[in-house]
Amino acid sequence: MKSTDVLKHMQEDAEDIQRFIQDCDYERFVAEPMIRKAVCMSLINIGELTKSLSTAYKARHPEIPWRNIAGLRDVTAHKYHTLNLDVIWAVATIEIPKLKEFINHALE
């Protein structure tokens, strides 16, 4: 898969996460399993897609924590019930907007 295709899919998942938490605060995020699970599924997708990007592409963009993104995918997929929801919330509200900004710029 071409890097632009991978980035477009990542962009879709990032936008999904932003929609899922659009009218949400941390307390609601913690209280509503459907929102948490939707966010986590999109994080899994983003992490898996990250693994599809070439090593060369990732090396050209060291400002993105590719290894952490892929690692979060693994933890979210395999240890879902032990996730630190503070971390997931921070990723969704702080890191996903940064990643989306990078992707939007990269696709221009």
Considering 19, 73, 81, 105, which one is annotated as catalytic? 73
CA distance 26 to 11: 23
- State how far the Cα of 62 lies from the Cα of 87, in Å rounded to an integer: 22
Query: Of 28, 36, 78, 105, which one is the catalytic site residue?
Result: 78
Residue 45 to residue 35: CA distance in whole angstroms: 15
Distance CA 43, CA 36 (A): 11
Is 73 one of the annotated active-site residues of the chain?
Answer: yes
Question: Has 81 been annotated as catalytic?
Answer: no
Active site residues: 73, 78
